[in-house]
Structure 1
């Protein structure tokens, strides 16, 4: 398979996984009752809602910094759970839109990153890895509260 053909598949493949990742994380966020959004299993861990906010902020930071997504003001709502889920959903959509508009060859572009120079393809991988890492922690939070997590999807 040629490198050009492989690159042509990278963005659609990422976007399919990203949409499934979004649906899965939003199901996790929905599963926790609002009363437990401040739950954290140990003093050195983030609360459930802080984990979700951290995921959202990381998507916004990486999207704005490396894929020119426009900065958005978060939605405010009197219901913390609704607000959190809406803002998470919007952050996923923001990244999706930016990646859809990224030329495949742009993924080879090297960018400055705190861990050293990285390609934009590596930033895409980081976006997904970061969501996966923290979603895994949130699933533990659900289990510790005797809440059955949503069924796994990894595609």
Structure 2
């Protein structure tokens, strides 16, 4: 699977944002723990983990919001020739997550086996489960990113680089699938109750 060049600038922006220290706020007795002080080092796994958890929730909620009979939906109005169906988009993301987050030791053969298995899925339940499983793997890689190994080159790139590209890829497809939901009269779960 190729790395999407159009995501490169987004991935770089994510990486830069993830490496910035958080702003310190005063803590009240009933609030969450104070954020780290400006200049305090934070573990890369913690930063990437928060970003990944946010995208996971939005993406899984979105995949679950589309009814099964609409998983074959492909937009027909406008320039949508040769685009993936909703279900195929979700399968693509599950497959891509293995590419981005499979880890430094995953082989091309293992990636192909995963890709083939995901490509054969047809039911919403199976597709959503594959998506959830791919996020488990993503967290496994992200949880192991340290300041020492984040930028060590592996056969598949650096851990930090692959995690950043993976997040950018998720955002690209999330945006596309929001349109698919709205074209079917469904407000994306992350936009419910707000002004989005």
Which stretches in structure 2 are left out of the alignment for 5+ residues? 1-20, 22-39, 192-196
| Contact 1:63-1:69 within 8 A present in 2 as well | no
Deviations 1:1-45 (A, max 9, x none): 8xxx64x43210111121121111111001111000011112321
| Contact 1:27-1:150 within 8 A present in 2 as well | yes
Residue 87 (structure 2) pairs with residue 53 (structure 1): no
Q: How does 1:1-80 map to 2 (within 5 A)?
A: 6=41, 8-41=42-75, 42-64=80-102, 66-68=103-105, 80=123
Pairwise CA distance, 1:125: 0.6
| Contact 2:145-2:160 within 8 A present in 1 as well | no
Distance in 1, matches of 2:99 and 2:105, equals 10
Between Structure 1 and Structure 2, the one with more helix by share is 1
Q: 2:134 aligns with which of 73, 87, 91?
A: 91
C-alpha RMSD over aligned residues: 2.9
Which stretches in structure 1 are left out of the alignment for 5+ residues? none
**Alignment CA distance shift 1:102-1:13 (3 Å):** closer
Residue correspondences, number: 144
TM-score, with length taken from structure 2? 0.63
Deviations 1:81-136 (A, max 9, x none): 111111101100111012213333111113466xxxx5332211101000110011
Distance in 2, matches of 1:68 and 1:102, equals 14
Segments of 4+ moved more than 6 angstroms:
none
| Contact 1:68-1:98 within 8 A present in 2 as well | no
Distance in 2, matches of 1:143 and 1:29, equals 13
